[in-house]
Amino acid sequence: MFDVVVIGSGPAGYVAAIRASQLGLKTLCIEESADSDGKPTFGGTCLNIGCIPSKSLLDSSQRYYEAKKNLSDHGIKLEGVKLDLETMMKRKDEIVSKLTGGINGLFLSNKVKTISGKGKIINQNIVEVKKPDGSSEKVDAKNIIIATGSSPIEIPSANFGKNIVDSTGALSFDKVPKKLGIVGAGIIGLELGSVWSRLGSEVIVLEALDNFLPMTDPDISKESLKEFKKQGLKIQLSSKVIQTKELENSVKVKYESKGEEIEVEFEKLIVAVGRKPNSSEVLPRNLGISLEDGFIEVNEFCQTSIENIWAVGDVVRGPMLAHKGSEEGIMVAERIANKQAQVNYGLVPSVIYTHPEIAWVGQNENELKSKGIKYKVGKFPFSASGRALAVDQSIGFVKVLSDLKTDTMLGVHVFGPAAGEIVQQALISMEFGSSSEDIGLTMFSHPTVSEAFHEAALSVNNQAIHIGNKRK
């Protein structure tokens, strides 16, 4: 009998398992994915085929682009710059392998038991594990944590095949497509489009929505669209794919845009329209746990209607983000151990790892307006940052939104260098209820790109030093 059985070892699952074991709970983690020897491969989508490999390729492709296009501006002249895609992919795989092995080491050091196989809940205290060799084993559990993650959504008009791939396939091309189509201008689509565009692909992004990145602040949506088009990404809004036809070495795509049907041929087509929760196969229908659009219904503590069964990460409501899942995993482990823990869902940071980066935390202007919340705005461009200019990354801005009366920060939005790191500074400040004045009174190192956050906070109250302030 285990105190805790975790199904899935992605960022939500392995963190939950480690924390549970640290708290003295006898813990087992079940992982379906396995290597050629039948040993589980830990880390889930994020580590193996998502966050980590994509960031590796984003970094490598940016270095290649800089070497080929921009270094001459720095007085560095290179000739004969060549792409070795095989080596680039090998580096990516080595990073993944290292981190996967790291999780196994963490399990061993924290005394988390593991088993390779597909876990399915039989009743509230029994999980059946179907192993790679076809055998099965039943495991007794006092508590069960479902952390089975999510999978790419397949659309009827573009079924996955040889030349129509999901995000996983897009991370493993053996050559650079001459012409690449991407369905969906969300986070995944933009990041993958950036990688292959830098490496030489002609990239066309087809987005069904009329608005670009509608979840971001309107200023970021507007400015980032301009910049990505400038970089060569051909982003076509209001463009819905209605038909595809796979050929031997290409894909014919028919899409509708503003009432007109257009046909285009791509070497490869990436479908990046979102992900769906992996919930259907882990839960028996007669268990009594409700699903909504595939998401397992839970309370604010990630507890299902059966008190000893919990669900975390991509299988429950909220953004499908690794860090959100990890925090839920820690919260659940601590609540099982009778500790008081919670997740602040109002402050979940988001980052898009394009170049420049996009990041935000809290509410944007559209959200504040819809709620009737009165606010004030501070904004500072990276073009006025000495450090940003020195490192040739002066595109974008930092934007701070604060309550009109209390000055409490309500949202921070960044488009530019180190956006993900700057937003983390904002997040910590907002967790402690900081006002924009508090940030303005804080000393920042000079020269750093973080100073843009400082100046944006000062700008909220018309006190910015290095740009002109709004007239009162």
Residues with catalytic function: 446
Q: Which residues contact 360 (CB under 8 A, 6 or more apart)?
A: 216, 217, 220, 349, 350, 411, 412, 413, 414, 423
φ and ψ of 113, to 5 deg: -75, 150
Distance between CA atoms of 382 and 399, rounded to whole angstroms?
Answer: 11
> For the chain, how long is the longest CA-to-CA vector?
74
Q: In 247-356, at which residue ranges do the beta strands (DSSP E only) sit? A: 251-257, 260-266, 268-271, 275-277, 291-292, 295-296, 309-311, 350-352
Q: Where does 66-171 have alpha helices with state H?
A: 85-109, 167-170
Reply yes or no: is the peptide bond before residue 356 cis, omega within 30 of 0: yes
Q: Are 213 and 185 in contact (CB under 8 A)?
A: yes
Distance between CA atoms of 460 and 376, rounded to whole angstroms?
Answer: 6
Locate 72 and state its tokens: 């001459």
Distance between CA atoms of 203 and 119, rounded to whole angstroms?
Answer: 40
Cross-strand partners of 255: 241, 262
User: Residue 288: which of 311, 309, 305 has the closest Cα?
Assistant: 305
Q: Are 347 and 361 in contact (CB under 8 A)?
A: yes
Q: Where does 297-450 have alpha helices with state H?
A: 322-336, 365-371, 386-390, 419-431, 436-440
